[in-house]
Amino acid sequence: MVTWNNLNTLASFQTLSETERVDLVSAMTGENGAERVKNYSIPMAAGLAYNYAAKQVDEKVLDALVKLAEEAQLGEKFAALYNGEVINTGEKRLVLHHMTRGQLGEAVEADGVDKRAFYVEQQERIAEFANKVHNGEITNAAGEKFTTVVQIGIGGSDLGPRAMYLALENWAKKNDTFKMEAKFISNVDPDDAAAVLNSIDVAHSIFVLVSKSGTTLETLTNESFVKDALKNAGLDASKHMIAVTSETSPLAKSDDYLAAFFMDDYIGGRYSSTSAVGGAVLSLAFGPEVFAAFLKGAAEEDKLSLNQDVLQNPAMLDALIGVYERNVLGYPSTAILPYSQALSRFPAHLQQLDMESNGKSVNRFGGPVDYPTGPVIFGEPGTNGQHSFYQLLHQGTDIVPLQFIGFKNSQIGTDVVIQDSTSQQKLCANVAAQIVAFACGKADENKNKNFEGGRPSSIIIGEALTPEALGALLAHFENKVMFQGFVWNVNSFDQEGVQLGKVLAKRVLAHETDGALKVFSDLLNI
């Protein structure tokens, strides 16, 4: 039986708060600095490793974090989640995204069906459909193969799948599994749809309309935009569109689509990359085998998140260190810094995952929380970020914890030696240098050139960004955010904070405005 308590009521949190702070500069530059880098590392799935040597922790802090994990019952809460308890209290729903990639606990039946069987059935249907598109059994009306897939969706129906597609595009090309180019339309800004439509051959394009609810204004507007374009090209839209939605949504029973694939209300949009939401576009783009490898990596990482030994559970430890930084050390944000161009949209995905999940001021029962919850998340790939916002990270007045990601090898393998090193070596040299620069700093008499150091970071290191590694990376962050939500006692699976803006926008469009809303509407010529 689990009990849900606010963080500041836990005795272990009190102990953690009183634990002596670690001087990161001394820890990293002292005689045990090198050993620390070797030891403070946990294996992850797919050959990845989570290294937390440059975090502001030592044995005493780690011990206090282990006690916090125990008192907050993180393992038990995860078990309650994957065994089908109503963890999403706000919407009174189960939380089942782990089941899209494996069965961690008991069979869970909901709506009269075994949910694992349901998700597997959707994967099989998608795989069959994708194979038929690739081998020319499913074609356009002229009997020609589709060459492009365009996903229409927003939020979780866009960010995760888009980030995953970009992450694997070059890998798939290099490994001869690239089947179709994918494009994405998300913004209701007409320039988004228009620009994508101008860049493709609509006659050879298949569109994936993705909306769990089937009611999202932006997505339905963009669907009409695309249907108009197909009609104007003399094409039958229903022969060019598939839907990914929940079986209860208005889209589910429509004849407007060539096929429909399903997820359900037990998978939040931001946790849906491993469901049909990511499955359709990724299977069409790279083939079902690549999507299956991606799921395998995620499933392996999920299993590591079950480990009751916190120091061998990368997602749980990452989560706890994040809580320590937020609630004891008082750091307000976290930067996601992948040293991998393929992960260019991964920070944007994590922004939604983290901030929509844990950006909450009430606990899971609607009561107040009087401590900080989710941090502000932002990021960019390195080394580009170094030439942009790292100035503030190194010498600004806020300390921003950093989450680096790096790979020993590139995806494409084409490289050049300039000044005795390859580009890949330069990339990796930079991330190593940054970790040490942030943690250790450098004293200078000229205060303008002085680096205080003491700026914490972690790094996930892998051999190369493969489908398995990407799945593991995704699951790591999903589970980290989940564990943090448990510690903060918030419901990480609803998002009421997005509703008010939607309601007011509808009022503006219906011209039912007054006061400030009316003046802004007039200023924007609506």
155 touches ligand F6P (CB under 6 A): yes
Nearer to ligand F6P, 229 or 276 (CB): 276
Nearest approach, Cβ of residue 182 and ligand F6P (Å)? 18
How far, CA to CA in Å, does 189 sit from each of 107, 206, 523? 43, 21, 18
Residue whose token pair is 């963009």: 222
One-letter amino acid identity for 353? Answer: L
Nearer to ligand F6P, 218 or 300 (CB): 218
Burial of 270 (0-12, 13-18, 19+ CB in 10 A): buried
Nearer to ligand F6P, 62 or 96 (CB): 96
User: Interacting stretch for ligand F6P, rule CB under 6 A, among 12-20, 149-157, 308-316, 464-472?
Assistant: 149-157
Site string for ligand F6P, 98-137 (x = CB under 6 A): ----------------------------------------
Nearer to ligand F6P, 185 or 304 (CB): 185
Residue 246, φ and ψ in degrees, nearest 5: -90, 155
Task: Look at residues 462, 478, 401, 430 and name the one whose alpha carbon lies nearest to residue 49.
Answer: 462
473-502 positions binding ligand F6P, by CB under 6 A:
495, 498
C-alpha angle 311-315-316 in degrees, rounded to nearest 5: 55
Nearest approach, Cβ of residue 214 and ligand F6P (Å)? 7
320-379 positions binding ligand F6P, by CB under 6 A:
356
Nearest approach, Cβ of residue 357 and ligand F6P (Å)? 10
Residue 179, φ and ψ in degrees, nearest 5: -105, -45
Residue 448 CA from chain centroid, whole number: 37
Task: Look at residues 64, 42, 276 and name the one whose alpha carbon lies nearest to residue 156.
Answer: 276
C-alpha angle 47-53-56 in degrees, rounded to nearest 5: 140
Nearest approach, Cβ of residue 154 and ligand F6P (Å)? 5
Catalytic residue among 173, 303, 387, 506: 387
Beta bridge partners of 368: 362
Cα(68)–Cα(229) distance, rounded to whole angstroms? 56
Q: Is 356 a catalytic residue?
A: yes
| Sole binder of ligand F6P in the list 56, 100, 157, 222 (CB under 6 A) | 157
User: Interacting stretch for ligand F6P, rule CB under 6 A, among 54-62, 151-159, 161-169, 225-233?
Assistant: 151-159
Sign of CA dihedral 130, 134, 135, 141: positive
Nearest approach, Cβ of residue 379 and ligand F6P (Å)? 19
| Sole binder of ligand F6P in the list 25, 44, 48, 154 (CB under 6 A) | 154
Neighbours of 283 (CB within 10 A): 29
Question: Looking at beta carbons, which residue is closest to ligand F6P?
Answer: 269
Nearer to ligand F6P, 56 or 275 (CB): 275
Q: Which two tokens stand for residue 248?
A: 């209860």
Q: Is 502 a catalytic residue?
A: yes
Catalytic residue among 71, 301, 356, 380: 356
Task: Look at residues 21, 20, 13, 24 and name the one whose alpha carbon lies nearest to residue 55.
Answer: 24
Nearer to ligand F6P, 23 or 91 (CB): 91
Nearest approach, Cβ of residue 155 and ligand F6P (Å)? 3
Q: Which two tokens stand for residue 35?
A: 């050993």
Task: Look at residues 204, 294, 210, 196 and name the one whose alpha carbon lies nearest to residue 249.
Answer: 210
Nearest approach, Cβ of residue 444 and ligand F6P (Å)? 47
DSSP annotation of 257: S
C-alpha angle 262-506-359 in degrees, rounded to nearest 5: 65
Q: Could you tell me how many residues of this chain bind ligand F6P (CB under 6 A)?
A: 14
196-235 positions binding ligand F6P, by CB under 6 A:
211-213, 216, 219
Nearer to ligand F6P, 54 or 159 (CB): 159
| Sole binder of ligand F6P in the list 75, 84, 156, 374 (CB under 6 A) | 156
Residue 457 and residue 438 in contact, taking contact as beta carbons nearer than 8 Å: yes
Neighbours of 54 (CB within 10 A): 27
Nearer to ligand F6P, 269 or 314 (CB): 269
Helices (H), 330-457: 346-358, 390-395, 423-440
424-463 positions binding ligand F6P, by CB under 6 A:
none
Nearest approach, Cβ of residue 245 and ligand F6P (Å)? 8
Q: Which two tokens stand for residue 521?
A: 């509407």
Nearer to ligand F6P, 139 or 213 (CB): 213
249-278 positions binding ligand F6P, by CB under 6 A:
269-270
Nearest approach, Cβ of residue 512 and ligand F6P (Å)? 21
Cα(334)–Cα(477) distance, rounded to whole angstroms? 13
Q: Which two tokens stand for residue 208?
A: 């994936």
Q: How many CA atoms lie within 13 A of 467 on its CB side?
A: 27
The binding site for ligand F6P (CB under 6 A) comprises 154-157, 211-213, 216, 219, 269-270, 356, 495, 498
**Catalytic (active-site) positions:** 356, 387, 502
